[in-house]
Structure 1
Amino acid sequence: MYVHRGIIDDVARRAARPEFMDACATRFRALHGAAPGEEEAGSWRRSWPVLLDALVRAGLGGLDVLLELSLPGTGERVDAAVVGQDADGALTVVAVELKQWTGARPVPGHPGMLEVGRRSVQHPARQVGGYVHYLRGWADGGNGVRARGAVVLHNASADVIERLRSMVSPDSPSAEFPLLGRDDLAVGVPAGDLAERLGCAGLSPAPGEAVDRFLAGEHRPSEQAMERLAANIEDQRPFRLIGEQDRARLAILDAVREADAREDGLGAAGAHGPGGMVVVTGGPGTGKTAIAARLMGELCRESRRNPRLLTPSGTLTRQLQRLLREESRGLVATFKSKTPGGLDKNSVVLLDEAHRAATYPHQRGTGFPAVLRNLLDRVGVLVLFLDERQIVRPSEGLTLDELARHAQESGAAFRHVDLETQFRCNGSQAYHRWVDLLFSPAGAARPWNGGSYDLALATDPDALASWVDGHTAQGRSARITAGFCWPWDTGEVPPLEPEVAIRWHGPDHGERSWARPWNLRSEQPVPGFPDIPARPYWATDRGGHDQVGCIYTAQGLEYAFGAVIMGGDLVRRHDRWRARPEASYDAVQLRTLPPEQYLPYALNTYRVLATRATHGTRLYSTDPETQAYLASLLPGS
């Protein structure tokens, strides 16, 4: 998909006209379901004419240009792609990243990141390198398309360009991609030199049908791309499986082979059946993510396979992508409402955290979620990793019974694998059973009798924070989480306001107070604040212990020690849990629910928060009656 396709000479003549920009905005809205933002449309007006003028002066006016070219496997878009053929007739695509920067500097402690204004962004040579990496490995399955890249910073001075170039090591993959500034594009630069600088030297116009084939070609990963990801997964210690986890892996592979045999039989008759379904259920810490990643590595090594590892959680996706580096591009992705491109009946899709998929059960009645039906119809096997008691919003929701019923109705093969052994919380099954009982509607947990897991009640917020800070000082990962019971108005740029504020009375009956900020909202680190990690990395990076995480930050992740603050949305009254949605500051769809509908989401939320820590947990409630109830079950810390 693209916003505009044309011959450079023609597009250059029209690019500055308002009607051309309006047509591009209309096309963008049709493709993406929303109009381009004011900032994006403004960047088109300022950058496209400059690039097109340079391409014409470089003698490249007869080549094709694609503006805002989408890369289906990643959801990203290339600002502009110049398409031609090289001397031996091979189709060549030059990805061009356009920037309006007038300055940039490195972000301390974050190699490859730059400070531009108050934002932290990727070095543009790495950014365009990612596009080229994708085109080489995904366009037409990595066959027949050559790719190059260039960065055009048309407002940047020679000094800025030189600083940016100096940040790229000569032996780095990013060194392949030229960085051009204002002076590099100046009128008077010889056409051949300008074409060389733009990465387009030696290109001539490609036949229209060759460009058509490139645009119509299926985007799927090459065997080389999958081999690199498989090798990277095998090297990662967190994805090594133990006991029951490995047995689950083998059972899933058996189901995949059975689906292959069925599809082969149907294929001989010229037909395709519905995709097979495997559901893996298991509580927190049973290794669902580790199994999914390990399977992904194995499936990448199978010659005809076309796998994906998806998760509805952007935070978990970012953590996996960082761990697996560039090799994960397009193969490990966030799954929201759109089916990824390039899938077929050879594909196995591993959907981790399936309970977080946006299925809108409160809106669809008895119908099966369309987003999952579309995925199941497209692929050979869909493997869903599920924990029903981690559903924390009314827009989420998926049950084992619902999946089994849909498989039966649609004729899809179905298999269920259950994981019972958990490896988090120091392997303490007793703790998990206790937490499950505590956060059931009746809350019928018995007093905790110790065992191998460090569980206690924090007497007040100061004690809770001191416990976390003490572990952090000894080099252990420790975090504070809370229910979404305080406002969260701080924007994406620090300073962070201490919005999680608690008042209580001490033993002397004097009023005391404690406050800390929520975690940073931004997806990227903010320059000048090295001890405030970006939201996806709050659970793992330096400084995260100084902010409070919520369910959407912590779910799917773990740390060694965790402190959980229970807010006023879940309180203990008359031997039962009571929900008070009016105490929540979460989304309107949650806090406007009747109490009986809000209750399971609140119970699930605190169950999830209480099972993030591998070695120890401290609980604390801001509600005195609830705190007294917890004190009847737990020793004080």
Structure 2
Amino acid sequence: MIVYEASKAEFVDSVFSGSITDEIYEMYQQKIGKSGKSQIMSWENSMQYMYRVLEDSEIPDDCGVAIEFTIPTTSKRIDFIITGLNQFQDDSVVIIELKQWSEAQKVEGKDGVVKTILGGGLRETTHPSYQVWSYASLIKNFNQTVEEDEIGLHPCAYLHNYDFIEEDPLTDEIYKPYFDEAPLYGKRDALKLRNFIKKYIRYGDNSDILLRIDNGKIRPSKKLQDTLASMLDGNKEFVMIDEQKICYELAIKMARESYLDDKKRVLIVEGGPGTGKSVVAINLLVDLMADDMLSLYVTKNSAPRNVFFEKLKGGKHSLSYLKNLFKGSGSFTASESNEFDAIIVDEAHRLNKKSGLFSNLGENQVKEIINAAKFSVFFIDKHQKISLKDYGSVEAIYEFCNYFDAEVEHIKLESQFRCNGSDGYLSWLNDVLEIEETANFDGFDFDYDFRVVDSPSELRDLIFEKNTDNNARLLAGYCWDWIKEGKNNTDVHDIVIDDFSMSWNLGNSDTWAIDEDSVNEIGCIHTSQGLEFDYVGVIIGEDMRFDGEHIVTDFEKRARTDQSLKGIKKMYKENSVGALEIADEIIKNTYRTLMTRGMKGCYIYCEDMELQTYFKEKLSRL
């Protein structure tokens, strides 16, 4: 999606007449939403500089100009794009990252990272050349039209307030791989930037390059489970951008320091669904092992591990090697202090307090993991706690960091890589489910396919239609008992709604998420959390309804076989208000998690017709 597009002549006229900021803002409001003052001021500033750069008769008036281009499958946008033909009449695109920076510092020991003033303080961020190179790489990876039409992408960064000096931090040798790929230009380099543009844009955009890119075929987003084998072989399947890169480099640095001095270090990484937590985690695992560090990947939920084993089975690594690499969270009750160089904990919100089938082993999983590792990293999302036993929290991690006198860092991931890159969809969902009030109460941006369907049969048929490459699944809240006699028989239908019936996922499958026939069954939270699909259809049971004013949850409507709220009735007798608050959080978090498993779309059916109407009304405002 492009916020603003025009020819160079139209852009120049708009800047000259003083209307450019208003024009960008008007289109921004229509396509994305309201923008803050800092964003508006940056347009006001930067467009004046780009106007001066483009004021050259050798840059054709009919070349294309795009501002705020959304990178496919992400929530990130490119500041400025120029399109046209090069000297050989080939399609050519110049991608420009615009920066307001006036100073920066080099950061040693972290690849592609610098420090500058951001948000009123000195903060680490990606080097401008790395940033624009990574954005160009994402376009190349995901926009199929760019590859098929052989459209050349040429990234650069323009820091129009920055006065480069001799031996400047930003042009240090450590950043050479990135500024070789994406040149840097400062306040005295307008002529150099102009020449860079003229090198690749000789003729106008007479083949609708902007339109073809904007409407280009988008490759399916890579799923972690499908690329795992390649990543373990050392291949870079995912380009990490912005705070993902900052998080990764911080983790690598902390792990290496702990490896050398044996001092405990802990990194807490907060992030919602689709922010790349698992991608960063697996990249860390691969690269720490490449540094000869004894490292483990840990999840409490067995479903992701089982899927990983199945995907890796028969490859170059033995099953015993893989079993030792991917561990459950209760594996450290008897571990020695600093037995491992690094433990990477994904879905840390699912950690239990005690381990074992009967919760009678060990003392505390958070404590035991920090004890067992020199360096531990916890990837956590407080809104994905879906059981009374879920103990993992930022507060608990800090408590045991203090206990072990561990050095601790805390970072957040925000960029969206699921739900077609829509931060807005997740914020809208939080608001609609009344998990928290957000600015997206009236809708969300980007092309995410969300629908409310009128029957569970229609939902099933829609998912069957979307399951073209084993990439769509039906999910449901845990409101139907799992019939014991039919746990391994898909013909025994646990879930019955009027004339619709289907089976829960089978008990004899550890890999429901990737099994070919799984589309004929309905998955629960435990078989889908931590995994992703292209499309999901979610049945919302009677444990969540709309009372005319608010969303109401009811733990009494949960299935008797559901273990996630085991003990809630006893808790309710002792403290009814507290029990209801906890149950409400868990039920809403469950549906939020289910409704964010789809990368391209989510379809829902609600048993409560008032809730069905509520969602339809919310959807009608988009």
Q: TM-score range by the shorter chain?
A: 0.5 to 0.7
Query: Of 385, 410, 434, which aligns to 2:379?
Result: 385
Alpha-carbon distance between aligned partners in 1 of 2:511 and 2:434, rounded to the nearest angstrom: 30
Q: CA 1:623–1:611 in 2, change beyond 3 Å: closer, same or farther? A: same
Task: Verify: 1:465 aligned to 2:457, yes or no.
Answer: no
Matches within 5 A, 1:3-402: 233-234=232-233, 241-263=240-262, 275-303=264-292, 305-325=293-313, 326=318, 327-336=321-330, 338-339=332-333, 344=338, 347-359=341-353, 370-402=364-396
SS in 2 for 1:281: strand
Alpha-carbon distance between aligned partners in 2 of 1:438 and 1:288, rounded to the nearest angstrom: 24
CA deviation digits over 1:413-461, x for unaligned, max 9? 1011211012011111111111122223477763436631111111221
Q: Give the corresponding residue for 1:621.
A: 606
Quote how far apart the aligned CAs of 1:568 are: 0.8
**Cα contact 2:430–2:592 (8 A) shared by 1:** yes
**Cα contact 2:307–2:513 (8 A) shared by 1:** no
SS in 2 for 1:279: strand
Query: Of 488, 492, 500, which aligns to 1:514?
Result: 500
Q: CA 1:617–1:569 in 2, change beyond 3 Å: closer, same or farther? A: same
CA deviation digits over 1:349-383, x for unaligned, max 9? 1111111111269xxxxxx9622212212320111
Q: Give the corresponding residue for 1:74.
A: none
Alpha-carbon distance between aligned partners in 2 of 1:551 and 1:332, rounded to the nearest angstrom: 21
Q: TM-score normalised to the size of structure 2?
A: 0.55
Quote how far apart the aligned CAs of 1:409 are: 4.5
**Cα contact 2:490–2:503 (8 A) shared by 1:** no
Q: CA 1:323–1:248 in 2, change beyond 3 Å: closer, same or farther? A: farther
Alpha-carbon distance between aligned partners in 1 of 2:312 and 2:364, rounded to the nearest angstrom: 30
Alpha-carbon distance between aligned partners in 1 of 2:620 and 2:455, rounded to the nearest angstrom: 13
Quote how far apart the aligned CAs of 1:595 are: 2.8
Q: CA 1:342–1:300 in 2, change beyond 3 Å: closer, same or farther? A: farther
Alpha-carbon distance between aligned partners in 2 of 1:569 and 1:338, rounded to the nearest angstrom: 36
Alpha-carbon distance between aligned partners in 1 of 2:428 and 2:513, rounded to the nearest angstrom: 24
Quote how far apart the aligned CAs of 1:321 are: 2.1
SS in 1 for 2:273: coil
**Cα contact 2:297–2:325 (8 A) shared by 1:** yes
Alpha-carbon distance between aligned partners in 2 of 1:321 and 1:239, rounded to the nearest angstrom: 20
SS in 1 for 2:619: coil
Larger Rg: 1
Q: Which amino acid aligns with 1:415?
A: E
Root-mean-square deviation (Å): 2.8
**Cα contact 2:455–2:605 (8 A) shared by 1:** yes
**Cα contact 1:573–1:625 (8 A) shared by 2:** yes
Alpha-carbon distance between aligned partners in 2 of 1:493 and 1:600, rounded to the nearest angstrom: 31
**Cα contact 2:336–2:372 (8 A) shared by 1:** no
Q: Give the corresponding residue for 1:57.
A: none
Q: Give the corresponding residue for 2:218.
A: none
Quote how far apart the aligned CAs of 1:241 are: 3.6
Q: Give the corresponding residue for 1:567.
A: 541
Q: Which amino acid aligns with 1:538?
A: W
Task: Verify: 1:541 aligned to 2:535, yes or no.
Answer: no
CA deviation digits over 1:46-77, x for unaligned, max 9? xxxxxxxxxxxxxxxxxxxxxxxxxxxxxxxx
Q: Give the corresponding residue for 1:428.
A: 422
**Cα contact 2:300–2:329 (8 A) shared by 1:** yes
Alpha-carbon distance between aligned partners in 2 of 1:575 and 1:564, rounded to the nearest angstrom: 23
Q: Which amino acid aligns with 2:397?
A: L
Q: CA 1:233–1:570 in 2, change beyond 3 Å: closer, same or farther? A: same
Q: CA 1:441–1:309 in 2, change beyond 3 Å: closer, same or farther? A: closer
CA deviation digits over 1:164-192, x for unaligned, max 9? xxxxxxxxxxxxxxxxxxxxxxxxxxxxx
Task: Verify: 1:605 aligned to 2:590, yes or no.
Answer: yes
**Cα contact 1:441–1:577 (8 A) shared by 2:** no
SS in 2 for 1:537: coil
SS in 2 for 1:634: helix
**Cα contact 1:457–1:635 (8 A) shared by 2:** no
Q: Which amino acid aligns with 1:353?
A: E
Q: TM-score normalised to the size of structure 1?
A: 0.54
**Cα contact 2:536–2:601 (8 A) shared by 1:** yes
CA deviation digits over 1:78-123, x for unaligned, max 9? xxxxxxxxxxxxxxxxxxxxxxxxxxxxxxxxxxxxxxxxxxxxxx
Quote how far apart the aligned CAs of 1:287 are: 1.4
Quote how far apart the aligned CAs of 1:622 are: 0.1
What percentage of residue pairs aligned between the two structures are identical?
Answer: 25
Task: Verify: 1:589 aligned to 2:574, yes or no.
Answer: no
**Cα contact 1:307–1:347 (8 A) shared by 2:** yes
Q: CA 1:626–1:313 in 2, change beyond 3 Å: closer, same or farther? A: same
Alpha-carbon distance between aligned partners in 1 of 2:613 and 2:230, rounded to the nearest angstrom: 52
Q: Give the corresponding residue for 1:630.
A: 615
Q: CA 1:356–1:461 in 2, change beyond 3 Å: closer, same or farther? A: same
Q: Which amino acid aligns with 1:612?
A: R
**Cα contact 2:476–2:540 (8 A) shared by 1:** yes
Q: Which amino acid aligns with 1:374?
A: E
Q: CA 1:343–1:317 in 2, change beyond 3 Å: closer, same or farther? A: farther
Alpha-carbon distance between aligned partners in 1 of 2:242 and 2:374, rounded to the nearest angstrom: 27
Q: Which amino acid aligns with 1:581?
A: F
Alpha-carbon distance between aligned partners in 2 of 1:376 and 1:393, rounded to the nearest angstrom: 23
Stretches of 4+ aligned residues off by more than 6 angstroms: 442-445
Quote how far apart the aligned CAs of 1:543 are: 1.5
CA deviation digits over 1:394-421, x for unaligned, max 9? 1112222332243234411101121101
**Cα contact 2:295–2:325 (8 A) shared by 1:** yes
Q: CA 1:231–1:424 in 2, change beyond 3 Å: closer, same or farther? A: closer
In the alignment, structure 1 segments of 5+ residues that lack a partner are: 1-228, 264-272, 362-367, 504-512, 523-533
**Cα contact 1:578–1:595 (8 A) shared by 2:** no
Q: Give the corresponding residue for 1:440.
A: 434
**Cα contact 1:582–1:591 (8 A) shared by 2:** no
SS in 2 for 1:431: helix
Alpha-carbon distance between aligned partners in 1 of 2:230 and 2:389, rounded to the nearest angstrom: 37
SS in 1 for 2:454: coil
SS in 1 for 2:274: coil
Q: CA 1:635–1:609 in 2, change beyond 3 Å: closer, same or farther? A: same
**Cα contact 2:538–2:603 (8 A) shared by 1:** yes
Q: Give the corresponding residue for 2:473.
A: 479
CA deviation digits over 1:289-309, x for unaligned, max 9? 111111111111223x21111
SS in 2 for 1:285: coil
Alpha-carbon distance between aligned partners in 1 of 2:402 and 2:335, rounded to the nearest angstrom: 27
Alpha-carbon distance between aligned partners in 2 of 1:349 and 1:241, rounded to the nearest angstrom: 21
CA deviation digits over 1:594-624, x for unaligned, max 9? 4332100001000000000010111221011
Alpha-carbon distance between aligned partners in 2 of 1:596 and 1:360, rounded to the nearest angstrom: 23
Quote how far apart the aligned CAs of 1:242 are: 4.2
**Cα contact 2:243–2:412 (8 A) shared by 1:** no
**Cα contact 2:535–2:600 (8 A) shared by 1:** yes
Q: Which amino acid aligns with 2:597?
A: R
**Cα contact 1:349–1:381 (8 A) shared by 2:** yes
Q: Which amino acid aligns with 2:538?
A: V
Q: CA 1:438–1:295 in 2, change beyond 3 Å: closer, same or farther? A: same
